[in-house]
């Protein structure tokens, strides 16, 4: 089996062009949200974490990795009230807690390279995380994947 790229080490978050971006020692890195989560939450459906997805979809979904929580000291103070943390499935491939923005779980695309144009945008699936995104914070959204 092919090895997955490693999660880039984020040294902070910043704003750029209306989007929330990760900061790395090699440059900015796009952050993403999984768009279908909104519909699932609104209709009472559950999206399982990636380890429970059908095998034929795992190659796609494993391109995106949940961003772990970052120390408060490296986060922009004016964004702290919009940032949060959600637990993930402890039996899954990526069991660490996950950073959220406005209630949306935050992901990086493992195909992206710091300082390069975002490669992980899939319209209506994974979109770059906009600063003005409407909050997801509805009941039932905490235990959802991918």
User: Greater confidence, 11 or 46?
Assistant: 11
**Domain assignment present for 42:** yes
**Domain assignment present for 109:** yes
Beta bridge pairs of residue 32: 107, 128
**Domain assignment present for 140:** no
Q: What share of the chain is helix, strand, coil (3-state, %, to 5)?
A: 20, 25, 55
The domain tally of the chain equals: 1
Q: If pLDDT is split at 50, 70 and 90, which confidence band does 1 have?
A: very low
**Domain assignment present for 100:** yes
Residue-wise pLDDT for 41-87, tens only, equals 888 888 888 888 889 988 898 899 999 999 999 999 999 999 999 99
**Domain assignment present for 144:** no
- 138 DSSP 8-state letter: -
SS3 assignment, position 117: coil
Range of the domain at 43: 12-128
Residue-wise pLDDT for 77-105, tens only, equals 999 999 999 998 888 888 899 999 999 99
**Domain assignment present for 60:** yes
Q: Where are the alpha helices (DSSP H) in 25-139?
A: 36-43, 55-61
């Amino acid at each position: 089996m092919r090895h997955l790229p490693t999660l880039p080490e984020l040294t902070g978050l910043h704003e750029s062009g209306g989007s929330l971006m990760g900061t790395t020692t090699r440059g900015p890195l796009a952050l993403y949200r999984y768009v279908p989560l909104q519909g699932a939450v609104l209709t009472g459906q559950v999206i399982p974490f990636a380890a429970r997805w059908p095998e034929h979809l795992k190659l796609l979904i494993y391109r995106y990795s949940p961003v772990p929580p970052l120390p408060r000291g490296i986060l922009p103070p004016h964004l702290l009230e919009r940032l949060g943390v959600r637990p993930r499935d402890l039996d899954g491939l990526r069991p660490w807690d996950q950073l959220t923005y406005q209630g949306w779980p935050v992901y990086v695309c493992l195909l992206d390279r710091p300082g390069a144009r975002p490669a992980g945008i899939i319209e209506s699936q994974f979109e770059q995380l906009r600063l003005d995104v409407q909050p997801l914070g509805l009941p039932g959204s905490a235990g959802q994947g991918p």
